[in-house]
Amino acid sequence: MNDKQIDLLNLDTHELTGLVQSWNEPVYRVKQLQQWLYHELVDDFDAMSNLPHPLRARLKAATTIGDLKLIATQDSADALTRKALFQMRDGQTVETVLMRYLDAPGSPEDSTDPPNVARRTVCISTQVGCPVGCPFCETGQAGYIRNLTLGEVVAQVLYFAREQKRAGFEMPLTNIVIMGMGEPFMKFNVTWRAIQAFTDPARLGMGARRVTVSTSGYVDGIRQLIEKKSQVNLAVSLHAADDALRDQLVPVNRKYPLRELMNACREYVHATHRRITFEYALMDNVNDSAQQAEQVAQLLAGVLCHVNLIPLNPTSESPYRRSPYARVLEFQRVLNRHNIPTTLRVEKGIEIMAGCGQLRQQVKRHSANVNALPLAT
């Protein structure tokens, strides 16, 4: 890749049409190209057999299919979760996770080919680092570098879609969660364009309800999402039900305090009739008491929602620890007593999933626990 090459994944349909027309090619080439890129999932222009050779040569010279280079991977002990670290054109790195869930209990070794995997969810990043700076989050602690481009966001999905297609799945991915590194609503426009790439039938064509976007509480973005009348799922990282504590744990709370956040959430439910998922990472003696569970119940009373309780995945440099399991269960009982539905994230992949950004830090620290591939030159 060189600086002058255009990343095709960075173009929406309108922009791709502009490129094709500027090359004096018929407009039906747009459909053909999108078919190869997003349905056939090819990453090689030579495979685009219905395009004339001169056009393929021009595409090869002037464009790229994504701009990510794989530099490290890491698998969970049960082999169902896989993290990938990619390097971008400017040398920055970004992390993506594939989480696979079995239909029935059993190890992947016993399973058929393709294995008995019911859900294949890819968790993607939107920024290098994150300016929100939550103190329990590896990404937040690493500092903020930049937003990703549309092409860099879409390429993360296509990488794992290709991998799962090779593994034999007709529908390579079942879900996309925008929950990796970064705050997706800081640059709403890029996130929205990515959601369109995932749901547009001419591109990935996934049902909007299979896509989830998680925000730390960017009220602006929640309102913009309402305006789009989209059916994507919204997750909000709550982690505390009082402003003083949330100012510490999720510093964007200083800009958008709980009252404003909850107003936006209520507007969202009113406008979309969709249930919101509130994420709550349980931290030992910080936000996990029964009294704090009561506060959460009060805050969420009357809001169509569901709470996802996540035992904290402790990061290397933060003082926060995971709550003891008994306290997690007690917290859950309090919410359930108030008729607030909850789930407890206990999947085995948690050790590499929660706190996206950890593989990036490990590679920086040259940890032995990752399959580092040679760095791009």
Residues marked active site are found at 95, 356
Say how far apart CA 179 and CA 40 lie, in whole Å. Answer: 26
Scanning 104-143, the segments in alpha helix (DSSP H) are: 138-141
Which of 130, 150 has the CB closer to ligand SAH? 130
Using CA atoms, how far residue 375 sits from 64, 86, 91, in Å, is: 20, 10, 10
The answer to the question of residue 237 lying near ligand SAH (CB under 6 A) is yes
Total residues binding ligand SF4 (CB under 6 A): 12
Q: Which does 34 bind (CB under 5 to 8 A by kind): ligand SAH, ligand SF4, none?
A: none
Say how far apart CA 144 and CA 140 lie, in whole Å. Answer: 8
Q: Which does 81 bind (CB under 5 to 8 A by kind): ligand SF4, ligand SAH, none?
A: none
The answer to the question of residue 137 lying near ligand SF4 (CB under 6 A) is yes
Site string for ligand SF4, 94-133 (x = CB under 6 A): ------------------------------------x-xx
Contacts (CB under 6 A) with ligand SAH, residues 289-318: 310, 312-313, 315
Q: Which does 313 bind (CB under 5 to 8 A by kind): ligand SF4, ligand SAH, none?
A: ligand SAH
Site string for ligand SF4, 218-257 (x = CB under 6 A): -------------------x--------------------
Which of 66, 217 has the CB closer to ligand SAH? 217
The answer to the question of residue 11 lying near ligand SAH (CB under 6 A) is no
Cis? peptide before 374, omega within 30° of 0: no
Contacts (CB under 6 A) with ligand SAH, residues 341-370: 354-355
Which of 115, 349 has the CB closer to ligand SAH? 349
The answer to the question of residue 216 lying near ligand SF4 (CB under 6 A) is yes
Region binding ligand SF4 by CB under 6 A among candidate stretches 82-90, 134-142, 224-232, 300-308: 134-142
Q: How far is the CB of 125 from ligand SAH (least distance, A)?
A: 8
- φ, ψ (nearest 5 deg) of residue 246: -70, -30
Q: How far is the CB of 316 from ligand SAH (least distance, A)?
A: 10
How many contiguous H segments (helices) and E segments (strands) does the chain have? 13, 15
The answer to the question of residue 51 lying near ligand SAH (CB under 6 A) is no
Contacts (CB under 6 A) with ligand SAH, residues 177-196: 179, 182-183
Scanning the chain, the segments in alpha helix (DSSP H) are: 13-22, 28-34, 53-62, 138-141, 150-166, 188-199, 219-228, 243-249, 258-272, 290-300, 325-337, 350-353, 358-364
Residue of 31, 43, 29, 37 whose CA lies nearest to 1: 43
Exposure string (b/e) for 196-220, b if CB count within 10 Å is 16 or more? bbbbeeebbebeeebbbbbbbbbbe
Q: How far is the CB of 370 from ligand SAH (least distance, A)?
A: 18
Q: Which does 133 bind (CB under 5 to 8 A by kind): ligand SAH, ligand SF4, none?
A: ligand SF4
Say how far apart CA 125 and CA 152 lie, in whole Å. Answer: 9
Q: Which does 179 bind (CB under 5 to 8 A by kind): ligand SF4, ligand SAH, none?
A: ligand SAH
Contacts of 193-202 with C-beta under 8 Å, sequence gap 24+, read 193/12, 193/150, 194/124, 194/126, 194/150, 194/153, 194/154, 195/230, 195/232, 196/12, 197/9, 197/12, 197/38, 197/150, 197/154, 198/154, 198/157, 199/232, 200/13, 202/13, 202/31, 202/34, 202/38
Region binding ligand SF4 by CB under 6 A among candidate stretches 2-10, 179-187, 202-210, 264-272: 179-187
By the criterion CB under 6 A, which residues form the site for ligand SAH? 130, 134, 136-137, 179, 182-183, 214-216, 237, 279, 281, 310, 312-313, 315, 354-355
